[in-house]
Amino acid sequence: MSRFPFRIVAGGALAVVALGSVAGAYAITHGLTGLLGGQPSAAQIIDRFEAVSGKHAGFRRNHAKGVCVTGYFDSNGNAAPLSRASVFAAGRSQVVGRLSIGGGNPAQADGASNVRSLALRILTPGGSEWRTAMNSAPIFPVRTPEALFEMLAASRQARETTTYGSDEGMDGFMKAHPETVRFEQWLHDHPPSSAFGNAAYYSVSAFRLIDRDGHAQNVRWRVEPDDAYVPLADAQKQDSDFLERGLAERLQQGPLRWHMVITLAQPGDVSNDSTRLWPANRTQIDVGTLVVQREEAQIDGPCRDISFDPLTLPDGIAPSDDPLLKARSAAYAESHERRVSEERRYAAHQ
C-alpha cells in the first residue's frame, strides 16, 4: 500500500468525514486554533490534518487511502448551450480518477469512514483539462476555511483527550457552528454505500458555467451510478479493505457507469455556502456518462502524482464565490508539495 517501506500504524481520528464519531474536549481559543484572526494558511490547514491523523510520508494529507481508476467521459452535448467548455461538446474525453475514503491515515479500516470520494482529471481531445473532487455527501460540514480549521482542532483534541462515551467536544463545536447539524443529519439519513461503484458523488461547492456569449449560470453537479445503491452491511464494518477489493471484483464483470447531472441554480440560491442544499425542484440536466473501466493500486497507478485541484478548470467553467474553493486549492497544492518532497528525499537516500 505504501509508496515507501515504512511501517504504517493504524489508528487516528477522522477529521471531516464523520462529525458524530468525534468526541472530546473543545474550546474556541486562540491557543487552540493557532489563529489570531483572518483565514488560515494552506500550511496551517495541512499541519492540522497531520496533527489529527499523524504524518504518513508519501501520502495525501486527507483521503490518504484510495485507488486509481481510468476510463472516459461521454458527453451527450446537453450542456453545450450553457458552457463553451469543450468537455461538454458531444464526444468522448479521457479520464484518470481516484476513489478514496476520508481521513489522513492510509491504513485505516474502510468501515471507519462514512463518506466516499471520487476525484477526476478529464482531458478532452483538444487538450483542455478539468479536475473535480467530489464527495458522496452533497454538502460540507462548515462554510468557511476558518471553521474548518476549528473543526480540525476539535478532532485533534478529541483524539488526545477523549473520555469514552463523551460527546461534549463535538457538542461544543456544533453549538458554535450550528450549520454542521445539516451535514450530520444528512449522514444519519443516508447510510454509507456498500461499494465505491454504487454511490453518488457531488461537487458540494457551486461553480459557474459560462456560455459563448459570456453569460454565467451557477450550477452544482453530481454523478449518479447505474449500479443500485446498497447500504453498508454490518459484516463489512469489520473488513478493513472491502472497498478496493469490491471495486476490482465488480470491474471484472464490466465497466462501471455514472450519469453526470448538472443542477441549475435560480436567483436567490446561495453559491457561497456549501453547507446548504438547493431546493429539490431545480432544473436538472443529464449531460453525459462517466465510464470507469480499470482500477490500479495508487502506489504506482496513474493517479498517484495528480493533485485533484478543484480550481483546475477549462474555459467555460469558473469558480463560484464559495470561500472553501480557494482554501481547498491551496491546501491540495501544499499536500502535493509535501508528499512529492518526501518522495524526493526518500529517493535520494537509496
**Residue with the three cell numbers 468525534:** 22
Is-contact 192 231, C-beta < 8 A? yes
- CA distance linking residue 29 with residue 332, whole number of Å: 26
Active site residue 63: yes
Is-contact 9 53, C-beta < 8 A? no
- CA distance linking residue 350 with residue 338, whole number of Å: 19
Asked if residue 72 belongs to a known ligand binding site, the reply is no
Contacts of 345 (CB under 8 A, 6+ apart): none
Is-contact 65 112, C-beta < 8 A? no
- CA distance linking residue 189 with residue 211, whole number of Å: 37
Please state the separation of Cα 343 from the chain's center in Å: 23
Is-contact 278 221, C-beta < 8 A? no
Which of 110, 338, 134, 89 is closest to 235 using CA atoms?
A: 110
Q: Which listed residue (30, 56, 63, 177) is catalytic?
A: 63
Q: Which stretches within the chain are classed as H helix?
A: 30-33, 42-53, 145-161, 168-176, 180-189, 242-251, 323-348
Exposure letters 100-137 (e unless 16+ CB within 10 A, then b): bbbbbbbbbbbbbbbbbbbbbbbbbeeebebbbbbbbb
Strand runs labelled E in the chain: 66-75, 91-101, 116-123, 129-135, 201-202, 207-210, 216-225, 256-264, 284-297, 317-319
- CA distance linking residue 26 with residue 5, whole number of Å: 36
Which of 49, 65, 11, 9 is closest to 298 using CA atoms?
A: 65
Q: Which stretches within 296-322 are classed as H helix?
A: none
Is-contact 196 116, C-beta < 8 A? yes
Residue numbers in the known binding site for heme are 332
For the annotated catalytic residues, the residue numbers are 63
Residue numbers in the known binding site are 332
